[in-house]
Amino acid sequence: MDYFTTLLDLLKTEREADRQQYQQLTQSASVAERRANGLTWYPIAIRGSELGRGDYLTVEVERTTHQDLSHQLRTGVPAALFSNHDPKTDRVEGTVSFQNGNRLKITLLTDELPDWSRQGKLGIDMLFDDTSYDEMQDALRQANALAETGTNQLINTLIGTAAATFRPEITPPALPRLNASQHQAVGAILAANELAIVHGPPGTGKTTTLVQAIKALVAQDHKQVLVVAPSNAAVDLLSEKLHDEGLNVLRVGNPSRISERLTALTLDHKMAEHSQMREAKKLKKQAGEFKNMAHKYKRSFGKAERDQRKALFDEAHRIMKDVANTEQYIIDDLVGRAQVITATLVGANQYMVRGLTYHTVVIDEAGQALEPACWIPILKAKKVVLAGDPYQLSPTIKSAEAARNGLNVTLLEKCIALHPDAVTMLNEQYRMHEQIMDYSARIFYNNQLRAHASVAGHLLFSGDSPLEFIDTAGCGFEEKLEGTSSTNPEEAALAIRHLAQLVAQLAPLYAPASFPSVAVISPYKQQLVLLNEQLDHTPDLQPYRHAISVNTIDSFQGQERDVIYISLTRSNDRGEIGFLSDIRRMNVAMTRARKKLVIIGDSATLASHPFYADFITNAERLNAYQSAWSFMA
């Protein structure tokens, strides 16, 4: 099938580009350089170790210095423990199985700590993640084979060779907390035979809707539902909300947020609480003792000692087999009792749940999911629910070639185009003042989005303007290049001065604890550095620092603040706007604001792009346009 062979080729191109970028960052790089690139923790101290399932040793380590450096050693990534003595030979590979703050656990492909780990300084290196690519590739191959039989109704629908069908007799239960479009979405999810799509623009209650739909699915079908998303954060959020609704949720893989409520949903925690676990623990301890005894007999001793050593090891292995059996029983029991299983897309193939099949799989944040990854959970189901917004951030793709040739188009977008009859768009939003929503609604949502009465007119204070565009054209604020990132120091200063004036207006109106939340965002990382400096050097803002954050747009998807400042940064006479031409990113930025949105930019540069030209005209129409001149005067 062309559909899947094309995807397989694109994935191969992407994998190569990703590997090359990884190699560039690691090859011939010193430990210090790798550490600076976030690929290595060094030095580390071992805080403990435990023998786990499959006789693999899990080692807990802590970063003892350089603790603030950002890094990519997240749960699930392949990694290696190494020693600085001879990092090429003194290393053992494994997978990060837990990470929080400056501690992580790595499960090693061995059952005991190597001798070299007791000398020299140790570190953890991130390795290239071949496993995820292998999983995606396997899924595409399997999908291809199934597609060729022509009989798989779900695949036929998703690739567009069959229509999506519905059971018209199904009527959704009464759900008084949902609005009309949310209720309709739940109805479509219940009635769909193969595919239902929930298009959720910003703040429209996509999560609320999905949670109610999943609850209704469990009640209707009496079958386990698999709920997945590309990011751990989204999986965490859904897991908590589903649990709050009284469902038995099993969170597979490690949560990115360590909250007690979430931890309680993980397999590790549920296992520890299980009635049969005490027995397994006792056995494990016994096996450990046998191993310790065996280690006392050195290999160089005589035959009798060697035999003794072997007998002890054999006994330890035999006991560990019993442990594995007991643990498997516990896992099967816990997995069997779950009504909802939650995981990331690739996590849906974790070995505890690898072989399971489901009636329905729900993919949230489908607008950010790489299509090949979606096929991992899809192959486990008869019916798919896709939820997301194709007009917010798309997945990050490393290979420009793969992106150009179609890897940047998500399954969500394809399915919306193929099956408009399967789409329900949630059309009422609970976040933005209607003037803040207006432009996004017009450009991206065909004017179909409404503001709920509770937010349509909400303001920071009576008489405030919810939308402001501050035009720096003609002020001589020129962009600079810092490395690969643009900056605009005068624009940063202006943004913070404007914020200081706003805060002065708000101060008498709000108690510190209920002070409106503010975020200052820019697509350019170096501009954030300048904004932070300006903030730190504005004494009047210090008492409110807790309410103000500075962030990139990408880290902000899914969040909201009362006040959003966007520093567009670009200002040049070539009309070059770089990153800003990705209007989906700008849609995310603009729709984070609840009560006030202040955008600062140079109309002379921005007007080269119709999205901004139109936005500025719109701002003028709404009386929201102001020249920076008049502000500075």
Ligand X SMILES: Nc1ncnc2c1ncn2[C@@H]1O[C@H](COP(=O)(O)OP(=O)(O)OP(=O)(O)O)[C@@H](O)[C@H]1O
What residue ranges bind ligand X (CB under 6 A)?
A: 177-179, 182, 200, 202-208, 430, 558
Q: How far is the CB of 182 from ligand X (least distance, A)?
A: 6
Residues 265/238, Cβ–Cβ less than 8 Å: no
* Three-state SS sequence of 275-331: CCHHHHHHHHHHHHHHHHHHHHCCCCCCHHHHHHHHHHHHHHHHHHHHHHHHHHHHH
R_g over Cα of the chain = 27
Closer residue to ligand X (CB): 214 or 531: 214
Closer residue to ligand X (CB): 182 or 342: 182
Rounded CA separation 598/499 (Å): 9
Residue position matching structure tokens 């007009």 = 391
Residues 472/602, Cβ–Cβ less than 8 Å: yes
Q: How far is the CB of 501 from ligand X (least distance, A)?
A: 29
Q: How far is the CB of 429 from ligand X (least distance, A)?
A: 8
Closer residue to ligand X (CB): 178 or 346: 178
Rounded CA separation 323/465 (Å): 65
Position with the least CB separation from ligand X:
205
Q: How far is the CB of 262 from ligand X (least distance, A)?
A: 17
Q: How many CB atoms lie within 10 A of CB 2?
A: 9
Closer residue to ligand X (CB): 35 or 561: 561
Q: How far is the CB of 90 from ligand X (least distance, A)?
A: 46
Q: CA angle, 267 as apex, 265 and 269 as ends, to 5°?
A: 70
Which two three-digit tokens encode residue 94? Answer: 């494994």
Rounded CA separation 184/178 (Å): 9
Q: How far is the CB of 211 from ligand X (least distance, A)?
A: 8
Q: How far is the CB of 412 from ligand X (least distance, A)?
A: 14
Residue 468 phi, psi (nearest 5): -140, 130
Closer residue to ligand X (CB): 164 or 423: 423
Listed residue (407, 528, 325, 492) closest to 17, CA to CA? 407
Q: How many CB atoms lie within 10 A of CB 529?
A: 16
Closer residue to ligand X (CB): 94 or 230: 230
Q: How far is the CB of 365 from ligand X (least distance, A)?
A: 8
- Sequence-distant (≥ 6) Cβ neighbours of residue 339 within 8 angstroms: 218, 224, 225, 247, 248, 249
Listed residue (47, 181, 23) closest to 104, CA to CA? 47
Rounded CA separation 464/586 (Å): 23
Closer residue to ligand X (CB): 229 or 348: 229
Q: How far is the CB of 207 from ligand X (least distance, A)?
A: 3
Rounded CA separation 204/629 (Å): 37
Q: How far is the CB of 468 from ligand X (least distance, A)?
A: 23
Rounded CA separation 548/499 (Å): 10
Closer residue to ligand X (CB): 205 or 377: 205
- Angle, helix 180-191 to helix 206-221, in steps of 10 degrees: 40
What sign for the dihedral angle of Cα 598, 574, 395, 407? positive
Residues 509/461, Cβ–Cβ less than 8 Å: yes
Listed residue (478, 196, 513) closest to 364, CA to CA? 196
Q: How far is the CB of 290 from ligand X (least distance, A)?
A: 52
Closer residue to ligand X (CB): 198 or 520: 198
Closer residue to ligand X (CB): 206 or 291: 206
Closer residue to ligand X (CB): 205 or 466: 205
Position 249, amino acid = V
Closer residue to ligand X (CB): 128 or 430: 430
Q: How far is the CB of 206 from ligand X (least distance, A)?
A: 3
